[in-house]
Structure 1
Amino acid sequence: MSSAHTTLSPTAISPMDERTIRKIVVASVAGNAMEWYDFFAYGTAAAIVFGQLFFPVGSEPLLGTLGAFAAFAMGFVARPLGGIVFGHIGDRLGRKASLIWTLSIMGAATFAIGLLPTYAQAGVWSPVALVVLRLLQGIASGGEWGGGVLMISESAPPEKRGFYAAWSQLGVGAGFVLSSAAFLAVQTLPRDEFMAWGWRLPFLASVAIFAIGVYIRQSIPESQDFAKVKKSGKTAELPIVEVIRRHPKEILLAMGLRFAENGGAYIFLAFSLVYGKFIGISGSVMLSAVMLAMIVEMFAMLGWGKLSDRVGRKPVYMFGALALIAMAFPFFWMLDTKQTPLVYLAFLLGTAVCHGAMIGTLPALVGELFSTEVRYTGVALGHEVASVFAGGLSPLIATALLAKYHAFWPVSVFLVLLGLVTVISLLFTRETSQGRLVR
């Protein structure tokens, strides 16, 4: 087992040529997009259809949606387990092997959701099966994010790590856009047909997505940092034990950094669909606004990542967290106008500016907190444990607050609290840019 002093820095490794790095970037983005399409498809369906089909609870539609979001949260509960399992595989056998497994499990679970009988057809076994499949999705996604990030950041030149690492998030954004586009398309069907079988199509399409993703991932070379550690024979035998022993503070900080980013994202992008329906905004307007905002954010996050190479990770991330706090009330004020341009503006500010500044900087920032030998496990553990409390519970908490108060202000207060957790965490986080990695 490697000691705390045997970490190898990318600065000690001969740099990859730009062509190879571009190949890794393209393959990683495509693979991530396929994986996250599957994961986000559930979030969209939970907001618009699953409550009625799998969790019928009477005349109050928000209660059915609460059930769907409770199952949504179960996927996040499983993510730390996936982070530990696939972090172990990634730190022991390689980033590439771990990512092929995550995509395989995700693709199979998502396809199976498209085949599930509804509550009317199978009774209580229907939501039980949905929860089990959601747990499998969560396990797969728990190992996905860290590996997708490290495949790029561990091969990028130190002075451009923020920019290149931000590309990994394009796959997340592209997956969300693709899943939203798929549901926007099937929602053009007559209502009865959409509810009967149309909603299944985005899930069944995951078969093709899975095949494409696995093919692409097989072409990715192993990350340069891990290849060096593997060659030296200094991989950690029990990465989870090592990372907790050597980096307990960094794990907690990585968790705190995620509260505003992850929690805010799922309130803006998942709960907002529920709120839009609650106040009477057309579903097509809401989905179109989400898609436009995500497309803009996909390019904005590259700019934020590049800026973090110039001015540092902490200033850029702090701007995003403070901007989210500032937008907590105006976001819903703009939605309440029901004016399409203001609805679009709300999503653009909430995602491309507030969330974009954080998610564009996060991949490089959290990766630079951990030693190479345990980096996959450290990144996955900090990222995924926080996702249980932030992303997983946020739509559920927000929907419960809306159901109780029939107003958005408690949700805005909740957003402010998420932002404050991240601001405080940032104050205790060291600056990691300009290649200042753990050694």
Structure 2
Amino acid sequence: MPHQPAPQTDAAANLQPRRAAVAAFIGTTIEWYDFYIYGLAAALVFGKVFFSKTLDPGIATLLSFVTLWAGFAARPIGGIIFGHLGDKIGRKTTLIITLILMGVATMGIGLLPGYAQIGMWAPVGLVVLRVIQGVAVGGEWGGAVLIASESAPKRKSILYSAFAQQGSPTGNLLATLVFFALSALPTPQFLLWGWRVPFLLSALLVIVGMVIRLKLEESDDMKRVLAQKKTVKLPLKDVVRDHWGLVLLGAGTLPLIHVTYLKSNFALAWATKELGYAQDTFLGIIAIALVVQFITQPLGAWLVSRMDMRRAICLMVLPEFLLMPVMFFAIETKVVWIALLGMCLATIPHSMFYGAIGGILARVFPTRIRYTGLSLAYQLCSLVVGGGTPVFAQWMLNRSGNIVGVAVSSALYALVSLACTLVLLNRTGYRADELSTAERADARDLGQGDANVSRPLNGPARKPVPAV
């Protein structure tokens, strides 16, 4: 008679995926809180605190956004370093290191003297600490997505990875609410010490994150790789040699998710400094839009899990071609409810896309090099698009004096993401209830079951997607 596992074993097996998902959510919330408070401070105060008062305000804001970009420039380095560690020693240990690194850098920014105290060393120190932040978050995202998706029941990995994705709007919302509360301070106090409070609060959040991550187990897929001693000596070499096309396609899927920096960074600076919105009013608009993002984002993961992923992606992305440009013109009306409506509507498509894309990309690479491949794709896009988004938008605004160019170019993000995602799905598999090309390779290599046929949750077996 076949051996039946004890009920306790079944309960423990069912509990682990949920624990991993919740831990990924809380950890990424803390990491993204630290990362987003920098963007808000760059839009509101860094131009005044860390640069000479003799500079034109528009130039000072542009330079503060350049320091923001420094963090994005460092993210591929973090992706390579921590991707290597994550593929060699496991996801859990790597995520603990990234959390500590982020916390130290964030608190350092909160304690950094301004230009009035140390002159040019102020922006230099700011850039150094921002680079450390970038290295940390460069290794965080891929590990958090994988610890959730790799611990999930098979064919539910995209749904579980959405927990890690929820950390982004939650961290952003926390950061926005803290700045919103501090906006009640008189401007001199806010510039003197108020803006530092969100950075110093990071110490408490990091302690909470450490307690949770120390209790976390390694992901199931990585356990198999470690147990069978099938780690790769140099994961980056294997990724570049054998999967460079997938890395570039993966990076090409992601420009759309970076439109969030048009809302939370560029639009904040533009609305408060040129259109006359009160700082607390526009932060309130951003906060409400982030609540909309938090609610609608998981729907993207649910949608791609229920139908042909190519069709689901089209349903999510196509509305953004219209809604993102409309958002800027809605803000330009200077009518609060119209600006709020425009921002909330523009938030829905790219939020749903963000909820799904992490899990989609996690299916693209084999387990042994998955952390490196996933992180490299994400951070390459962050380098080119993420940090450059507010810089480019501010430059266009300074040059033209109107928002038309920014509004039109924002729609191009959706075009690039849509095209690259469709090509990627055609190459790697477009059914969430089937194993992807990489997952079938893992099944053959690591002995995870039948790699020849992928069986959906309901209905007959389907023919596998041809490997490319």
**Which TM-score band applies after superposition, normalised by the shorter structure?**
over 0.9
Percent identity of equivalent pairs = 36
Structure 2 length as normaliser, TM-score? 0.88
The match for 1:95 among 85, 88, 91 is 91
Structure 1 length as normaliser, TM-score? 0.93
Matching of residue 420 in structure 1 with residue 415 in structure 2 = yes
Matching of residue 434 in structure 1 with residue 429 in structure 2 = no
Q: Is the 8 A contact 2:232 2:369 kept in 1?
A: yes
Q: CA deviation at 1:318?
A: 3.1
Q: Is the 8 A contact 2:145 2:161 kept in 1?
A: yes
Work out the CA distance in 2 between the residues paired with 1:16 and 1:343.
48
Q: Secondary structure of the residue that 1:348 maps to in structure 2?
A: helix
Q: Which amino acid aligns with 2:38?
A: Y
Q: Is the 8 A contact 1:72 1:392 kept in 2?
A: yes
The match for 1:347 among 326, 330, 343 is 343
The match for 2:271 among 268, 273, 276 is 276
Q: Secondary structure of the residue that 1:429 maps to in structure 2?
A: helix
Aligned to 2:351: 356
Cα deviation code 1:374-394 (max 9, x no counterpart): 000000000001101111100
Matching of residue 122 in structure 1 with residue 118 in structure 2 = yes
Q: Is the 8 A contact 1:16 1:155 kept in 2?
A: no
Work out the CA distance in 2 between the residues paired with 1:308 and 1:432.
8
Q: Secondary structure of the residue that 1:360 maps to in structure 2?
A: helix
Matching of residue 54 in structure 1 with residue 50 in structure 2 = yes
Question: What 5-or-longer segments of structure 1 have no aligned partner?
Answer: 1-13
Q: Which amino acid aligns with 1:182?
A: V
Q: Secondary structure of the residue that 1:328 maps to in structure 2?
A: helix
Aligned to 2:285: 289
Matching of residue 200 in structure 1 with residue 217 in structure 2 = no
Q: CA deviation at 1:424?
A: 2.2
The match for 1:386 among 366, 374, 381 is 381
Q: Is the 8 A contact 2:155 2:435 kept in 1?
A: no
When residues 432 and 245 of structure 1 are mapped into structure 2, their CA distance, relative to the original with a 3 A threshold, is: farther
Q: CA deviation at 1:432?
A: 5.1
Matching of residue 404 in structure 1 with residue 403 in structure 2 = no
Q: Is the 8 A contact 2:25 2:166 kept in 1?
A: yes
Aligned to 2:160: 164
Question: What 5-or-longer segments of structure 2 have no aligned partner?
Answer: 1-9, 442-468
When residues 123 and 173 of structure 1 are mapped into structure 2, their CA distance, relative to the original with a 3 A threshold, is: same
Aligned to 2:13: 17
Q: Is the 8 A contact 2:297 2:351 kept in 1?
A: yes
Q: Is the 8 A contact 1:15 1:157 kept in 2?
A: no
- Higher RCO, 1 or 2 (CA under 8 Å, sep at least 6)? 1
Aligned to 1:5: none
Work out the CA distance in 1 between the residues paired with 2:218 and 2:265.
34
Work out the CA distance in 1 between the residues paired with 2:120 and 2:408.
36
Q: Is the 8 A contact 1:82 1:138 kept in 2?
A: yes
The match for 1:377 among 369, 372, 376 is 372
Q: Which amino acid aligns with 1:95?
A: R
Aligned to 1:260: 256
Cα deviation code 1:261-283 (max 9, x no counterpart): 22x12112211101211211222
Work out the CA distance in 1 between the residues paired with 2:44 and 2:224.
47
The match for 1:244 among 217, 222, 240 is 240
Work out the CA distance in 2 between the residues paired with 1:15 and 1:397.
51
Aligned to 2:75: 79
Q: CA deviation at 1:141?
A: 0.5
Matching of residue 326 in structure 1 with residue 322 in structure 2 = yes
Q: Which amino acid aligns with 1:324?
A: E
For structure 1, which segment, 341-350 or 79-88, has the greater mean C-alpha deviation from structure 2 after superposition?
A: 341-350
When residues 309 and 118 of structure 1 are mapped into structure 2, their CA distance, relative to the original with a 3 A threshold, is: same
Q: CA deviation at 1:320?
A: 3.3
Cα deviation code 1:95-143 (max 9, x no counterpart): 0011011010100000000111110111000000000000000000000
Cα deviation code 1:289-343 (max 9, x no counterpart): 1111112211211121111100133333333332222123211111122222222
Q: Which amino acid aligns with 1:130?
A: L
Q: CA deviation at 1:88?
A: 0.4
Q: CA deviation at 1:157?
A: 1.8
Count of aligned pairs between the two proteins: 424
Q: Which amino acid aligns with 2:261?
A: Y
Matching of residue 365 in structure 1 with residue 364 in structure 2 = no
Q: Which amino acid aligns with 1:284?
A: D
Q: Which amino acid aligns with 1:342?
A: I
Q: Which amino acid aligns with 1:195?
A: L
Work out the CA distance in 1 between the residues paired with 2:261 and 2:50.
21
Q: CA deviation at 1:417?
A: 2.2
Q: CA deviation at 1:16?
A: 7.4
Aligned to 1:134: 130
For structure 1, which segment, 77-86 or 334-343, has the greater mean C-alpha deviation from structure 2 after superposition?
A: 334-343
Q: Which amino acid aligns with 1:281?
A: Y
Work out the CA distance in 2 between the residues paired with 1:214 and 1:312.
38
Aligned to 1:11: none
When residues 320 and 61 of structure 1 are mapped into structure 2, their CA distance, relative to the original with a 3 A threshold, is: farther
Q: CA deviation at 1:15?
A: 11
Q: Is the 8 A contact 1:319 1:357 kept in 2?
A: no
Matching of residue 107 in structure 1 with residue 103 in structure 2 = yes
Q: CA deviation at 1:196?
A: 0.8
| Pairing of 1:162-241 with structure 2 (within 5 A) | 162-241=158-237
| Pairing of 1:20-39 with structure 2 (within 5 A) | 20-39=16-35
Q: Is the 8 A contact 1:118 1:126 kept in 2?
A: yes
